[in-house]
């Protein structure tokens, strides 16, 4: 069993080659639901869906989220009403939200629904939300206003300064069924190259999860989402800086050192390996930018230790 803590696009891009490398049935992914949102009455789980669609080979390869070959009939029609079209929901993607919302209304827990959706896409990996309870990432903007994560991320295109984050509901949430078992029972734990503060931190904020991961520290391998001081995608670099962290692999090492024994950094950051080690982590250097064939699979193999002896 290989268990990954996962956000959305960055995580999905690793999980797909990880499944190829170790076999999908061995892969367990504990997925962030802090950026879930209810819009139009529909329960939207962006990270779960991104991971699902990617593992199904159905994701839009350009954006990394949403479905390939998507159509936008519903959103186009919603424009007539000047409705909330800032969160673009494709027609086929909407079916996922309709199904999830209906099942939740029938009393099914989110984890069961995530499993049903994954199964419907033929996925043999084990995808689970971090919790079945409602945890919502709330973002405090520089002006003092607090907004939902999607409001910050999508509606405002994360182009506004952030002064704080909190995970509403986390304190009273419980890990979803299977989460603690997947952490405790894994041969290797991977912290995906997701945004540390808004994708991985919410997972760790669910009571019991961070402790369970820390107990496995020597088997935990994190992959830096920061390469040469910048995020490959999204606002991770900016958020780290705005919230008092260093937007570098060293900053990432300071965040993960308490819970992870190893940090994989990109070759571009080879010169910072000693500083990473000074934070108390082993540092592995490898290509991490999954823009060429084979990089992801090599990275996945490195993360699970297949080539640890060689590095």
Residues that bind its own copies (CB under 8 A): 38-43, 71, 73-78, 80-84, 91-92, 94-99, 101-102, 104-105, 116-117, 120-121
Q: Whose CA is closest to 277, among 300, 261, 299, 301?
A: 261
Distance CA 13, CA 232 (A): 12
Nearer to its own copies among residue 148 and residue 195 (C-beta)? 148
Closest CB 81 distance from its own copies, rounded Å: 4
The encoded tokens of residue 194 equal: 């997701």
Select 58 or 257, whichever has its Cβ closest to its own copies: 58
With H, G, I as helix, E, B as strand and everything else as coil, classify residue 74: helix
Residue 1 or 56: which CB sits closer to its own copies? 56
For its own copies, the closer of residues 42 and 184 by Cβ is 42
Q: Secondary structure of the chain: what % helix, strand, coil (to 5)?
A: 45, 20, 35
- DSSP annotation of 67: B
> CB of residue 185 vs its own copies: minimum separation in angstroms?
29
Reference 134, options 9, 12, 66, 38; nearest CA is: 38
Give 25 or 120: the residue with its C-beta nearer to its own copies: 120
102 or 311, CB closer to its own copies? 102
Q: Report, in Å, the least distance between residue 104 CB and its own copies.
A: 8
Smallest distance from the beta carbon of 96 to its own copies, in angstroms?
7
Cα separation, 89 vs 92, in Å, equals 8
- Residues 55-79: b if buried by 16+ CB within 10 A, e if exposed: bbebbbeeebbbbeebebeebeeee
179: left (phi over 0), alpha (psi -120 to 50) or beta: alpha
Instruction: Give dist(CA 303, CA 293) in Å, integer.
Output: 17
| Sequence-distant (≥ 6) Cβ neighbours of residue 155 within 8 angstroms | 86, 87
State in angstroms the smallest separation of the CB of 114 from its own copies.
12
User: Reduced to 3 states, what is the DSSP secondary structure of residue 85?
Assistant: coil
As measured in angstroms, the least distance from the Cβ of 94 to its own copies is: 5
Whichever of 41 and 144 has its CB closer to its own copies, that residue is 41
Query: Quick one: 116 or 277, whose CB is closer to its own copies?
Result: 116
- Nearest approach, Cβ of 69 to its own copies (angstroms)? 11
**Minimum CB–partner distance for residue 92 and its own copies (Å):** 4
The two three-digit tokens of residue 244, written as one number: 């008092």
CB nearer to its own copies: pick between 58 and 228:
58
Alpha helices in the chain (DSSP H): 9-22, 46-55, 73-78, 91-105, 110-120, 149-150, 179-184, 201-205, 209-214, 236-242, 249-256, 273-278, 295-304
Least distance between its own copies and beta carbon 75 (Å): 8
């Amino acid at each position: 069993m290989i268990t990954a803590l996962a956000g959305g696009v960055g995580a999905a891009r690793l999980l797909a080659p990880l499944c190829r490398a170790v076999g999908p049935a061995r892969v367990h992914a504990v997925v962030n639901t802090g950026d879930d949102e209810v819009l139009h009455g529909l329960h939207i789980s962006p990270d779960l869906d991104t991971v699902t669609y990617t593992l199904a080979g159905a994701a839009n390869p350009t954006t990394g989220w949403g479905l390939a070959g998507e159509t936008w009939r519903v959103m186009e029609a919603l424009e007539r009403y000047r409705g909330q079209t800032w969160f673009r929901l494709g027609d086929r993607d909407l079916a996922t939200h309709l199904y999830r919302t209906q099942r939740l209304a029938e009393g099914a827990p989110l984890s069961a629904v995530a499993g049903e959706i994954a199964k419907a896409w033929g996925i043999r990996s084990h995808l689970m939300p971090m919790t079945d309870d409602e945890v919502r990432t709330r973002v405090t903007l520089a002006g003092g206003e607090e907004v939902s994560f999607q409001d910050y991320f999508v509606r405002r295109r994360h182009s506004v300064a952030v002064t704080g984050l909190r995970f509403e509901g986390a304190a009273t949430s419980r890990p979803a069924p299977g989460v603690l078992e997947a952490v405790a029972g894994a041969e290797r734990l991977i912290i995906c190259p997701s945004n540390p503060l808004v994708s991985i931190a919410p997972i760790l904020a669910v009571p019991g999860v961070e402790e369970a991961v820390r107990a496995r520290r020597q088997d935990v391998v994190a992959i830096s989402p920061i390469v040469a001081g910048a995020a490959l995608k999204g606002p991770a670099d900016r958020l780290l800086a705005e919230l008092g962290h260093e937007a570098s692999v060293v900053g990432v090492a300071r965040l993960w050192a308490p819970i992870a024994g190893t940090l994989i950094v990109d070759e571009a950051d080879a010169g910072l390996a000693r500083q990473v080690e000074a934070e108390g982590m082993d540092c592995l250097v490898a290509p991490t930018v999954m823009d060429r064939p084979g990089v992801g699979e090599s990275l996945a193999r490195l993360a699970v230790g297949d080539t640890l002896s060689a590095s």
